[in-house]
Chains A and B, each alone.
Chain A
Amino acid sequence: QKEVEQNSGPLSVPEGAIASLNCTYSDRGSQSFFWYRQYSGKSPELIMSIYSNGDKEDGRFTAQLNKASQYVSLLIRDSQPSDSATYLCAVRTGNTGKLIFGQGTTLQVKP
């Protein structure tokens, strides 16, 4: 079982729709969770971090964390073509403190 799992996609949504990106992790002791966005040929950039159960909103982005289910998600409202990128879920493991990345989900927002 991979430590952090994401569906590689591509996930295709029409412009203006809600994009829902999902991630599961294996280490129950994990405390910190991050979503990074990576455009093709660029470096990952942090979108959101979340540390406690529930929702955290920042503009069009909402991160959701459910530690009991070991599940973290990212919702993007009013998706724009400029949101088209690979979204990387990252989890800081409880035992080693390492930041482990999922394989990323490619999002395509079609005009």
Chain B
Amino acid sequence: DTAVSQTPKYLVTQMGNDKSIKCEQNLGHDTMYWYKQDSKKFLKIMFSYNNKELIINETVPNRFSPKSPDKAHLNLHINSLELGDSAVYFCASSLTGTGNTIYFGEGSWLTVV
């Protein structure tokens, strides 16, 4: 009964490949996020969706494309992977009007070789 689940947990891929990370939440939240944590542990927001609508789009390369088929799912597709994309990607969710506390998934460790 994981609250925010993301797959895969580990992903090793070659430069130039395209990959996707999937995320689902069963908390009934209306807002979902993608965060990137680099090797220095700095956690930075990439995207946020509220009820399937994109509301935050940070300055990330357009090789990164989020997709929210419904408010319980937010997937991240990455084209033409580069070495610098290696990081941990966290999906998260929150409910508007409750202090907007964010709950994180377990993370997806992406290694580009």
Contact = CB atoms under 8 A, between A and B. Distances in A.
A104 B38 CA distance: 12
Interface residues of A, number: 22
Contacts of B48: 98
A17 interface: no
Interface string A65-96: 00000000000000000000010101010001
Contacts of A103: 40-42
Interface string B79-113: 00000000000100000000111111111000000
Contacts of B100: 32, 92, 97, 99
A43 B101 contact: no
A96 B58 CA distance: 11
Given A42-B106, A44-B104, A45-B104, A32 B99 contact: yes
A101 B104 contact: no
A52 to B, nearest CB: 12
Given A32-B100, A96-B56, A99-B100, A43 B42 contact: no
B46 to A, nearest CB: 11
Per DSSP, chain A at the interface is: strand
A15 to B, nearest CB: 24
A99 B102 contact: yes
A43 B41 contact: no
A101 B42 contact: yes
Interface of B: 40-45, 48, 56, 90, 99-107
Interface of A: 32, 34, 38, 42-46, 49, 51, 86, 88, 90, 92, 96-101, 103-104
14 contacts: A32-B99, A34-B101, A34-B102, A38-B41, A43-B104, A43-B107, A44-B43, A45-B104, A46-B103, A49-B101, A88-B43, A90-B102, A101-B42, A101-B44
